A and B are shown apart, each in its own frame.
Chain A
Amino acid sequence: MTADEIRAYLEPRRHEFADPRSLVMPALKYAQTTRGHLSREDLDAVAEATGFTPSFVESVASFYDRLYTQPVGNRVVSVCITLSCMLRGSDEVWDHLCEKEGIDHHHGGTSADGRITIQEAQCLGYCDKAPCIQVDADETLGPFTPDSAAALVDELRAAPDPEEYWR
């Protein structure tokens, strides 16, 4: 993504942010929508559009779980592992999905075909639907059993990719 595209996106939103630093986050989220992750060029473009150094922009991007500085799958599946979900069986959901996609149980990761990334999420605020799952930045869904979660992943794999990767 180019600095001009990012500027065009930020311009109508600029008034919402009192501190120019706050623009870095929406700029990063938007810059991520073309590739699904932030390349060196994307970070450079965000730096140029916001007026901060590339190094600072990268430090912000590296802080947040949903901003990716390495390539991830076309769809990112976040499994909530905080207390309510854990008590309602998120461990089993997590293990089942990792097993199914052949992903490291400790850290999550991306399936071999590059389609699906499974990652842990802290409380998503859907304790009433525990254990819950959020796909990209879409609405959070639940409750899941290991099997229904696997069905969701199959459905995602079969579905066409979104036009923009909002994560």
Chain B
Amino acid sequence: MADYAPVDLTAENLVSFELNGEKVQAPAGTMLVDACHALGVEVPIFCYEPRIGPPVGACRMCLVEVEGMRGLQTACSTPVQPDMVVRTTSELATQGQESVLELLLANHPLDCPVCDKGGECPLQDRTFRFGPGKSRFHESKRHFLKPVELSSRIALDRERCISCFRCVRFSQEVAQDGQLTMQERGGRSEIATFSGDAYEARFTGNIIDVCPVGALTSIPYRFVARPWDVTNTPSVCGLCPVGCNTELTLREGVVRRVSGRDEPNYAVEEGWLCDVGRWAYDSADHTGRLHRAVVRDANGARETNMADALSAATLVLQRADGPVGILLGPAATVEEAAIALDLAGGALRGAVVARLGIPAGPLAPLRATRRAEMGDIDDAQTVIVVGGDPSLQQPVVELRLRKAALRRGARIVTVGSRRTGLADVAEHVDAAPGALHAAISDIAARIAASAEPVVLWDEAELAAEPAAADALATAIAANGAARQIELGQDPNGAGLRALGIPATGLRDALAAGRLGALITVHADPRSAPGRDAWDAALGDVPVVSVATHVDATTDRATVVLPSLTLWEQEGTLVSMTGRAQRVRRGADGPDGAAPGWEILIALGHYLGAPPAYRTPGAAFAAAAKAHPGLGGLTYDDMGTLGAPLPPPAADHLAGDAGESVAAGSAGLALVAVRDVHAGRAAQGSEALLAFHAPAAARVSAATAERARLTDGATARISSPHGEATLPVRVAPGLPDDAVFVALGTPGAAPESLLGPDRGPVRVELRP
């Protein structure tokens, strides 16, 4: 909960006024509550939440005395004016605050000892500080059935609600899902959804963070811990490349809760999290978690301890017939990647290092154009989204765009082949799947005609159309004031690229038989796009797999080294906007597992050429010296909010280009979306049961009919790269002659249909 808006006391347009007898200064137009907070004077609030929108003055808690104004004023809606005289602690103001609290508590149950919010409850805290101490109410309080399930993840206790409207305003004005409203009136008012339906949407969990009382609580966290039993650690979500700043609540070495930070990162997520980022932490422990190391030999697989497995891995690598390949997964941290590079320069000299992702070459000119951060969307009058669907792939971006559209009337334009989650606030320019190039002159004209546009572009779709990417880069550069944000695919794609790690090269070397062994670090090439090509390239090359969960690669790996997830280990992730942010150690993880960076350092030791560092901090410091892409940053520079890396040069990784495969025009266009709601974390989370859905190929009604398929029927889909069998879902709002699949769903394999270097794909759809 952010509570107060940040105030810049060093701004130029300061006005002087008197606050509790002292002469102070604050920027003109600042709301009194914010100015007071910045100046170290607390004015209590409940309904005020600057991130939700303009003040509403619903709770009356922030009453202060302003000389010359009749009665008491609400400080949340009174802007600072020159020479005003404000008293927040005078007898009159104190009386007002006490009376308001007495009224708010008239119906609020005194059940703090059994309330989940107790100990971290603004109402509790402010009652102690500003409350009357005694209540004059003898009447019975209102009673409701408690608690009710607002959704499968959120419990609502209506007795505790003080009708501050924060959750309703979040639903109406921030997420704009329109589902939460205040029903009934007066003493009977209650938060409700239509006919008591479940509140299901993409960002529902934020209402728990903004609730200033114990009315809205997280069902998975209910009665799990007390605020004085836990430690809170600032971290970063590693599920998508937005890099939302989170706070991990730990109890006895286990992550029990993920929430937005009290002091949000306004340059990134502004304190809002998507439901996947908030609740998927329980997926770390779901079925398939690797608890012990595995060594496979002629006699089959056996579980063993880490030291034994490291010895086995060392043998595998030393006996390898040729250099070693090291493949880094999309969420491998900067530290893991840097240590891998050091291994390739030392213990495993000559090793080929690559990342599992989209080749950077075709996008190099576009990435070199002027970059924006998420916070910059707040100032843009025009935002153009080229390709993709941020609502599914980088969810929190949607909230920024909605804020821009609703609060400032900014123009949002989406360009692409389908209705996105922004359809209700955006103007849409249609482009057939794989044909952004056809719309590029229209986009360029819009960029040229806008004052300071921000262009958001989808990594996968533009990488598949290099000509369109180049044209977009030219248009952005031509405007001068235009800036761009990459809607990336990989949680640490930018970090791996900053170290100069290409996506190509390794698979070709494998296929050509030049490599003697492969180390995978949080990478599963056998489930990744182009999995058939990866499988063929792997042949019977021995694999050492550093992984958190059982996957297709650990199933065949000679040695599996169990590692920790991003909720458990230290590291640095670079967001899609190029902001390097620290992931902090949260949970302990399984006893038999170790952090990925530690495993890689240990491998160096076992191989007889240990790197010169022992901690992730030192590994990062060494990497920052060695790789200019990291801009010489240190952990201290990053602090809790991260720091931007220098933008890449126009020729950075320009040679990282895959085979360009012409898709031809026969068949249907395949659109593969990395939907976080369909990925392993969401699908493996018990809390996110509402998002659980079997993988499917989504098509328009006409497309299904032409292929003689009905909704729910099983379709055989084939592409030049491979085949997949998926149930068909007929969905509205999709273009004809296209098949939409989500990547990363466990148990499904639409990845077979794609090429390892991505690029456009056309498929056949058969019953």
Contact = CB atoms under 8 A, between A and B. Distances in A.
Nearest to B199: A55
B185 A63 contact: yes
A58 B181 contact: yes
A55 B178 contact: yes
A166 to B, nearest CB: 22
B179 A53 contact: yes
Contact of B178 (A43, A53, A62): A53
Contact of A62 (B179, B180, B184, B193): B184
A42 to B, nearest CB: 11
Interface in A38-74: 40, 43, 53-56, 58-59, 62-63
B183 interface: yes
Given A43-B195, A53-B194, A58 B183 contact: yes
A59 B181 CA distance: 6
Contacts of B2: none
B182 interface: yes
B178 A56 contact: yes
A54 B197 CA distance: 11
A55 B194 CA distance: 4
A40 B195 contact: yes
Contacts of A54: 194-195
A54 to B, nearest CB: 4
A44 B456 CA distance: 36
Interface string B174-211: 00001111111100000011110000000000000000
A58 B194 contact: yes
Nearest to B180: A55
Contacts of A63: 183-185
A159 to B, nearest CB: 32
A63 B181 CA distance: 11
Nearest to B185: A63
Among B183, B184, B193, the one with the most A-chain Cβ atoms within 10 Å of its Cβ is B183
Nearest to A39: B195
Contacts of B193: 55
A43 B193 CA distance: 13
Contacts of B182: 59
Contacts of A55: 178-181, 192-194
A58 B179 CA distance: 11
A41 B96 CA distance: 46
Interface residues of B, number: 12
Contacts of A62: 183-185, 192
Contacts of B185: 62-63
Nearest to A57: B194
Contacts of A56: 178, 181
Given A53-B178, A53-B179, A58 B184 contact: no
Contacts of B192: 55, 58-59, 62
Contacts of B179: 53, 55
B188 to A, nearest CB: 9
Contacts of B195: 40, 43, 54, 58
B167 to A, nearest CB: 13
Among B181, B182, B192, the one with the most A-chain Cβ atoms within 10 Å of its Cβ is B181
A56 B182 CA distance: 9
Contacts of A59: 181-183, 192
B304 to A, nearest CB: 56
B194 A43 contact: yes
B753 to A, nearest CB: 38
Among A55, A58, A63, the one with the most B-chain Cβ atoms within 10 Å of its Cβ is A55
Interface string A84-119: 000000000000000000000000000000000000
A58 B181 CA distance: 9
Contacts of A40: 195
B180 to A, nearest CB: 7
A40 B194 CA distance: 9
Interface in A108-152: none
Nearest to B172: A56
Interface in B342-374: none
Contacts of B180: 55
Contacts of B194: 43, 53-55, 58
Contacts of A53: 178-179, 194
A62 to B, nearest CB: 4
A84 B178 CA distance: 42
A53 B182 CA distance: 13
Among B180, B185, B195, the one with the most A-chain Cβ atoms within 10 Å of its Cβ is B195
Contacts of B184: 62-63
A134 to B, nearest CB: 20
A21 to B, nearest CB: 13
A40 B195 CA distance: 7
A135 to B, nearest CB: 24
Interface in A1-56: 40, 43, 53-56
A40 B183 CA distance: 15
A129 to B, nearest CB: 28
Nearest to A56: B181
A16 B343 CA distance: 77
A59 B196 CA distance: 12
Nearest to B182: A59
A43 B192 CA distance: 15
Contacts of B183: 58-59, 62-63
A53 B179 CA distance: 7
B745 to A, nearest CB: 31
A62 B194 CA distance: 11
Contacts of B178: 53, 55-56
Nearest to A44: B194
A54 B178 CA distance: 9
B204 to A, nearest CB: 13
A23 to B, nearest CB: 17
B65 to A, nearest CB: 34
A138 B181 CA distance: 32
A63 B194 CA distance: 14
A106 B580 CA distance: 63
Nearest to B193: A55
A58 B197 CA distance: 12
A56 B177 CA distance: 11
A63 B183 CA distance: 6
A106 B30 CA distance: 49
A58 B180 CA distance: 11
B229 to A, nearest CB: 37
A146 B193 CA distance: 41
A141 to B, nearest CB: 27
Contacts of B181: 55-56, 58-59
Contacts of A58: 181, 183, 192, 194-195
A9 B180 CA distance: 28
A43 B196 CA distance: 13
A43 B185 CA distance: 18
Given A53-B179, A56-B181, A62-B183, 18 more contacts: A40-B195, A43-B194, A53-B194, A54-B195, A55-B179, A55-B180, A55-B181, A55-B192, A56-B178, A58-B181, A58-B183, A58-B194, A58-B195, A59-B181, A59-B182, A59-B192, A62-B185, A63-B184
The 10 closest A-B pairs by CB, nearest first: A59-B181, A53-B178, A62-B183, A55-B194, A54-B194, A55-B181, A63-B185, A62-B184, A59-B183, A40-B195
Interface of A: 40, 43, 53-56, 58-59, 62-63
Interface of B: 178-185, 192-195
26 contacts: A40-B195, A43-B195, A53-B178, A53-B179, A54-B194, A54-B195, A55-B178, A55-B181, A55-B192, A55-B193, A55-B194, A56-B178, A56-B181, A58-B181, A58-B183, A58-B194, A59-B181, A59-B182, A59-B183, A59-B192, A62-B183, A62-B184, A62-B185, A62-B192, A63-B183, A63-B185
